[in-house]
Structure 1
Amino acid sequence: MTLDTFFEKFDLFADAPGAVARMRELVLELAVQGRLASALPSDSPVQSVVEFRKDTAALAVSLGLRSPIESIEEAIPSFDVPIHWQWVALADIGVAQTGTTPTRADREVINGEIPFIKPADILPNAIDYSNERLTRRGAEGGSRLAPSGSLLMVCIGTIGKCNLIERECAFNQQINSLTPVAAVDSRYLLVAARSRYFQHAAWEKSSSTTIAILNKGKWLSIAIPIPPLAEQKRIVAKVDELMALCDQLEAQQQERQPRHTALARASLSRFADAPTPANLDFIFHPSYDITPADLRKSILTLAVQGKLVRFEPESDTQIVGDHIEFQNGYAFKSQWFKPSGMRLCRNVNVSHGVVDWRESAFVDDDIAKEFERFALSEGDIVLSLDRPLIATGLKVARIRESDLPCLLLQRVAKPVRKHDRLDMSYFFLWLNSSEFVDSIDPGRSNGVPHIFTKQVLLLPFILPPLAAQRRIIAKVDQLMALVDELEVRLSASRASAAKLLSGLVTELTSH
């Protein structure tokens, strides 16, 4: 398979996580493997390591710097490259410097004409020269100066972040520069420095305590494969061409997203206005890219608004307190907690839809018996009163048989119906719908967002007839099953796309 074919197949794996980013990475990987351009008979051969070292020493003299220390270790190939290429350590292909920061107390060194580069100024596609500046005195006396065409790479903190400078710059101590010799195209050097191989090598050689540090000696010991200069230029041109294709694919994805979002909203709106089977098909159309989470929210909201099953409410003016009262948990003392015994259903245990017992607290049987009025039963609803909203939704769950036995702890409330005209499964749907979630007005209890049960009891609540409640529950179950199927299909589609992408990458990178 050729790389061009790989790009043509993009739509097959576009749903894979980070597909375009992986393509960019692949382009750089193939570039340093010698898979993007071929040698030509007219190309001059690549220099020997000895010749590279001589050129590096001469470059140092021309820049007014000390002759660099030659690499001690022999450059060991890390992967196969064309036979006419040469593996050479960074130390032997250019002059390196580590930046410094001049004292800002001296007003004569700042606010000059020379950009002073820091890690934040090194951007993916450019260098930001517009921030701090030094005078020439400050740059030459209190910092380091690198000429245009030099590579700047962060070697403390965000190791590997790099780009080329297009003008003379000073830089701080977190950055190393490499000014390449004439036989190395600076743009090819950037391609190699950004490749997965080099980035991995840089991190492998770094030491880390509280912050990752790659010292200059270890950085300079990293070897890169060097082709003849003319071939380097062809590789760079091909990389530019392929990266432009990646830009186009990324732009197409970004351009499609707003249209898909608009279609998704329109289909949800259509279904809300008329929840017919035909409009339901629009919701599940593969082009609309509606997330399962959004679908579930919409279904629950439509259900309690009477748009899935039409009904006449018992009364137009009702509140939750007409139908529900809350039992709040008991404030069991922490000194009563034991490593085993009767479990306590605490705020930390109530997740979205389920009770999570990974962090369990217990009391012994004697205390449990004394407070058995707080015992929970299968089917009970438990609502977290502290930090009630998490990323996945409202912290409300129903007690399963596997959760029992357990007792209700403070800051968790159990709704109890006042009459048998309310099906608690319907009330559970209402709690999860935007009708309830959007109406929560968190108060503050020691800085922790909190639900007040008294507020909940005063919220508007429309009670359908019992038969309608049960039809609504059945309809929601039916639709949620469809959403579950959709979620499985989406996951399978993404997994298939990721597998295809991985296979294509393997095919391209295998010799």
Structure 2
Amino acid sequence: MSNPDSNAKVAPPSGHPREGGNPEQTTFWPTSTLGEIANWGSGGTPSRSNSAFYGGNIPWIKTGDLGPKIIRESSEFITELAVAKSSAKHFPKGSVAIAMYGATIGKTSILGIDATTNQACAVGNPINGITTSLFLYYFLKNEKKAFIAKSKGGAQPNISQTLIKEHEISLPPLAEQKIIADKLDELLAQVDTLKARLDAIPATLKRFRQSVLAAAVSGKLTKEWRGAVEYKRDVATLAHFTDIDIGHAFKSKEFTETGIRLLRGQNIEPGALRWKETKFFPEEKVGAFEHLRLIAGDIILAMDRPIVAAGLKLARVKPEDLPCLLVQRVARFKNFRGLNANFLMLILEDPSFSNYLIPNQTGSDIPHISGKQILSYPVSIPNLEEQTEIVRRVEKLFTYADQLEQQVKNAQTRVNQLTQSILAKAFRGELTEQWRKDNPELISGDNSAAALLERIKAERAAATPPRKAKKTANQG
């Protein structure tokens, strides 16, 4: 086979960016398009009104199924009749699917099974001898942002199959493609392992905080601090140490657009107050409700649906939350007797308190806990000096946990960026620089990507039937 002719679109030598491309992108490979290296198609959705189209044994892939590196099962199945009566098509195992519509644009997976797809998936079947499923998959992942940037439409942007087929690719020789894919497999597997370990740390920190709270309220946290001093605690219910205020049932007809904020149950989330959907009460009418005016540091507990997925709806009022008034079915703790307010927060944050509330709630639609039930919670309280020491130690340990959690978040951000960075390096040729130096015979002559592209062009030209010449007026 001869070398590519002078019309082949080949990149400049090593170290020179491709003309018209990203100035940071240095490539050594000829430029092709996705349409030249894979056979593309898209599927369709059989009519939902015909039950005979669904529940068959043909996997039907939708964009929601995309994302895993290899798809080995689908969320829905259709029948052969559905394929015959719709634009759904069969695609072979090893094809690479990419989402074209909406928020899923650019999500990519390799089909690990023979399957059909809906019309929102473009599917490329790599041309044998030109590229591989794995290389195409990684290239599409690298180009996700580029596809999103090319998308058109308002609320539901999309890319077309034509756009995908016209999308340029700097194509390495086949041998180098395999090296790139292998290196990406290895490196990204390491990234996934690191990410999994980082993702597991927040749950570990949550268990750490819970164990600290349990040690705090049981006396274990200050056992060494007490030394030989006898361990003394007052054992009683919360009612012995504190009282609670329960808010007023303000009338909705009295709500105004401005005024003093009303603290309702829906304004409380675990650890903080939030002021979405805020209701207000006229300042001039507050006089009769001054006793319900909150101050910074107040401990607040929602009595309706007090426990949600994120935890107990318990928070402390901050200066920026003020001014506000307490509303019905919201409790405020007050009048502490031999009880440090900060130590009370530890008691309430301890999972044992939430575990106590769960079986004592009433109501099925909206679980509710009464003030009497709250104050009936059994506790054992050390003297104020030990309470202060416990709070100090917990704050120190929680500060450490908070700092570690922030470090984990920062590391997660870097790891999430690492995947894209590795992909970008791969398709700039940086991962295989030494390999190219060591294997010049595998990237030149008939082994070059340019030669491969010329071969596929020739094969396609040979497979295309010649056009019939039009008859002229003088031809019989």
The answer to whether the aligner puts 1:456 opposite 2:374 as a matched pair is: yes
Opposite residue 205 of structure 1, the aligned amino acid is: K
CA distance in 1, matches of 2:99, 2:69: 15
2:202/2:405 contact within 8 Å kept = no
**Mapping of residues 352-391 of structure 1, within 5 Å:** 352-356=270-274, 360-390=278-308
State the match for 1:160 in structure 2.
106
The equivalent of 2:259 in structure 1 is 341
Question: Any idea what SS the aligned residue of 1:439 has?
Answer: helix
Q: How big is the alpha-carbon RMSD for the aligned residues of Structure 1 and Structure 2?
A: 4.5
**Cα distance, 1:411 vs structure 2:** 1.8
Matching of residue 305 in structure 1 with residue 187 in structure 2 = no
TM-score (norm 1): 0.64
Secondary structure of the residue aligned to 1:299 is: helix
Shift of 1:406: 3.6
* Cα distance in 1 between the residues matched to 2:291 and 2:166: 71
* Matched position secondary structure for 2:347: helix
User: How far apart are the structure 1 equivalents of 2:210 and 2:271?
Assistant: 13
Q: CA deviation at 1:165?
A: 4.9
Unpaired runs of 5+ residues, structure 2, are 10-18, 224-230, 431-476
> Matches of 1:46 and 1:342 in 2, distance apart?
80
- Counterpart of 1:325 in structure 2 is 243
Helix, strand or coil for the counterpart of 1:173?
coil
* Residues paired across the two proteins, number: 405
Aligned partner of 1:30 in structure 2 is: none
Moved more, 299-308 or 498-507: 498-507
> Do 2:82 and 2:88's aligned partners in 1 also have CA atoms closer than 8 Å?
no
Q: Are 1:484 and 2:410 counterparts?
A: no
Query: Which residue identity lines up with residue 484 of structure 1 in the other structure?
Result: T
- 8 Å CA contact 2:265–2:329 kept in 1: the answer is yes
Residue 132, structure 1, aligned to residue 77, structure 2 = yes
Kept in 2, the 8 Å contact 1:150–1:165? The answer is: yes
The answer to whether 1:410 aligns with 2:328 is: yes
Separation in 1 of the partners of 2:82 and 2:396?
A: 72
Task: Choose between structure 1 and 2 for higher RCO, CA contacts under 8 A separated by at least 6 residues.
Answer: 2
Structure 2 residue identity aligned to 1:305: S
Letter in 1 for 2:211: S
Instruction: Report Cα offsets for 1:174-215 as digits up to 9, x if no partner.
Output: 332334445621336514542322x22322233345544322
Distance 1:47 1:94, change over 3 A: farther
Identity of counterpart residues, as a percentage? 26
Does residue 396 of structure 1 match 2:340?
no
Q: Quick one: distance in 2 between partners of 1:501 and 1:133?
A: 36
* Counterpart check, 1:88 vs 2:32: yes
SS in 2 for 1:204: helix
Give, in whole Å, the separation in 2 of the partners of 1:137 and 1:425: 65
Residue number among 43, 64, 71 corresponding to 1:99 in the alignment = 43
1:218 maps to: 163
Offset of residue 293 of structure 1: 4.2
In structure 2, the partner of 1:472 is 387
The alpha-carbon deviation at position 453 of structure 1 amounts to 1.7
Counterpart position of 2:344: 427
- CA distance in structure 2 between the partners assigned to 1:360 and 1:128 by the alignment: 48
Residues 172 and 248 (structure 1), Cα distance of their counterparts in 2 relative to 1, 3 Å cut: same
CA change 1:45–1:433 in 2 (3 A) is same
Instruction: State the partner residue of 1:184.
Output: 130
Is 1:386–1:411's contact at 8 Å kept on the other side of the alignment?
A: yes
Query: 2:122 corresponds to which letter in structure 1?
Result: N
Distance 2:129 2:364 in 1: 66
Letter of the aligned partner of 1:187 in structure 2?
A: S
* TM-score normalized with structure 2 length: 0.68
2:189 aligns with: 247
Residue 144 of structure 1: CA displacement? Answer: 3.0
Confirm whether residue 236 of structure 1 aligns to residue 182 of structure 2: no
Pairs within 5 Å for 1:190-209: 190-191=136-137, 193-197=139-143, 199-208=144-153
| Structure 1 residue 331: Cα displacement | 1.0
**For residues 5-47 of structure 1, what are the alpha-carbon distances to aligned partners after superposition, in whole Å with 9 as ceiling and x for unaligned?**
xxxxxxxxxxxxxxxxxxxxxxxxxxxxxxxxxxxxx995599
CA drift of 1:391 comes to 6.0
| Secondary structure of residue in 2 paired with 1:371 | helix
C-alpha distance in 1 between matches for 2:264 and 2:51: 60
1:499 shift after superposition: 6.3
Note closer, same or farther for the CA distance 1:454–1:47 as it changes in structure 2 (3 Å cut).
farther
Residue 340 (structure 1) shift:
3.7
Q: CA deviation at 1:493?
A: 6.9
Aligned to 1:448, what secondary structure does the other structure show? coil
Task: Report the Cα distance in structure 2 between the residues aligned to 1:106 and 1:383, rounded to whole angstroms.
Answer: 51
Note the residue ranges of structure 1 that are not aligned, 5 or more in a row.
Answer: 1-41, 51-74, 262-287
Does structure 2 conserve the Cα–Cα contact (< 8 Å) formed by 1:116 and 1:129? no
Aligned partners of 1:378, 1:129: CA distance in 2, in Å? 55
Q: Structure 1 residues 503 and 414 mapped into 2: Cα distance closer, same or farther (>3 Å)?
A: closer
- Quick one: structure 1 residues 142 and 365, their matched pair in 2 at CA, closer, same or farther if it must change by over 3 Å? closer
